[in-house]
Amino acid sequence: MSKPTYYGVDHHVGQTPLLRLKKLSELTGCEILGKAEYMNPGGSVKDRAAWGIITDAEASGALQPGATIVEGTAGNTGIGLTVIGQSRGYKSVIVIPDTQAPEKITLLRTLGAEVRPVPAKPYKDPGNYNHIARRLAGENGWFWANQFDNTANRDAHYRTTGPEIWEQTAGTVTAFVASVGTGGTLAGTSNYLKERNPAVQAVCADPYGAAMWSWFTNGNTDTDDGDSIAEGIGQGRVTKNLEGLKVDNAFRIPDQEALSIVYQLLREEGIFVGLSSGINVAGAVRQAIAGGPGQTIVTILCDSGHKYQSKLFNPEWLRENALDPEAAVEEVLGV
């Protein structure tokens, strides 16, 4: 018998389970399946982007031993870069909007990142967290991960998420649904699945206030139709990770729909996730309704609910934001 080989956490990103979402599958007559990305070492789908960016930079020589990685992030990519980076000998500096859940900032510091909270500003403002990260990289000689426009992000999903879904569904997947933060998950995964079967539907689930629904539906980013409490998703521009992506459907998802799904999954199926996961699953339900019974629809369960307990699972905060955790999922979704 050959001697087994063992690895650290950086070799254990991906190969996450595909969970059947029982109630929504039964209500729609479709197989609605969630990729349990919260089981990654850093706790989210962004571990894949972090792994892809780091390994790509190592291969190109852009990331040298002992270097510092700097990134602007809503939290999860920073966590992934910190966990995977530390396992490979790098330090991390994370620039994060101060509007994000406090649990994320605390966790990043606990993990060993240097965290710099900044006021939330739009991308066009020089004070936007991404621009600050880019400037810090230039001033200090650090490696800027640049998750939004570094296509190693998209490539990581093409090489891992797409093939895993194809294998786990034995090629029966008919649609893939994802919201857009950087665009890497939706673009990379959809591109792989469509190469295997051009009939697979690529579907965007977009929160209110984001521009991707408008982009994929109307060909522009002009629609300004509200706001969302979702963190880590909701893009206002076409990033390099999104360039060239064609989607078949795009759905606008209200926060209440997503919240009702989050609570239904927790209370009835033991699945504890954040609002971005709820938006993704709501998009899968919309796709199920639009395409009819018999579909096999896969979406992303982005991260766990642990980082949102002060918000999503705080009754007082929900009341202040006019959200009802008791609203039945059947009533809210119309299924």
CATH of the domain at 114: 3.40.50.1100
Asked if residue 154 belongs to a domain, the reply is no
CA distance 47 to 169: 22
From first to last of the 335 residues of the chain, give the pLDDT tens digit.
889 999 999 999 999 999 999 999 999 999 999 999 999 999 999 999 999 999 999 999 999 999 999 999 989 999 999 999 999 999 999 999 999 989 999 999 999 999 999 999 999 999 999 999 999 999 999 999 999 999 999 999 999 999 999 999 999 999 999 999 999 999 999 999 999 999 999 999 999 999 999 999 999 998 778 889 999 899 999 999 999 999 999 999 999 999 999 999 999 999 999 999 999 999 999 999 999 999 999 999 999 999 999 999 999 999 999 999 999 999 998 88
Closest CA to 189 of 17, 45, 13, 43: 45
Instruction: Give the residue from 114, 144, 174 where a domain finishes.
Output: 144
Domain containing 179 equals: 9-39+161-333
Runs of H (alpha helix) within 202-323:
212-218, 255-269, 275-291, 315-320
Instruction: Please indicate, yes or no, whether residues 93 and 31 belong to a single structural domain of this protein.
Output: no
Instruction: Give the residue from 144, 177, 210 where a domain finishes.
Output: 144
* Model pLDDT, residue 225: 83
Instruction: Give the residue from 91, 112, 144 where a domain finishes.
Output: 144
CA distance 328 to 275: 16
Closest CA to 160 of 189, 197, 139, 131: 189
Asked if residue 2 belongs to a domain, the reply is no
Instruction: Please indicate, yes or no, whether residues 242 and 324 belong to a single structural domain of this protein.
Output: yes
Instruction: Please indicate, yes or no, whether residues 60 and 31 belong to a single structural domain of this protein.
Output: no
Instruction: Please indicate, yes or no, whether residues 114 and 13 belong to a single structural domain of this protein.
Output: no
Instruction: Please indicate, yes or no, whether residues 271 and 195 belong to a single structural domain of this protein.
Output: yes
- Classify residue 61 by burial, with Cβ atoms within 10 Å: 0-12, 13-18, 19+: exposed
Asked if 188 contacts 158 with a C-beta cutoff of 8 angstroms, the reply is yes
Instruction: Please indicate, yes or no, whether residues 135 and 190 belong to a single structural domain of this protein.
Output: no
pLDDT, tens digit (0-9, with 9 covering 90-100), for 189-202: 999 999 999 999 99
Q: Active-site residues: which are they? A: 46
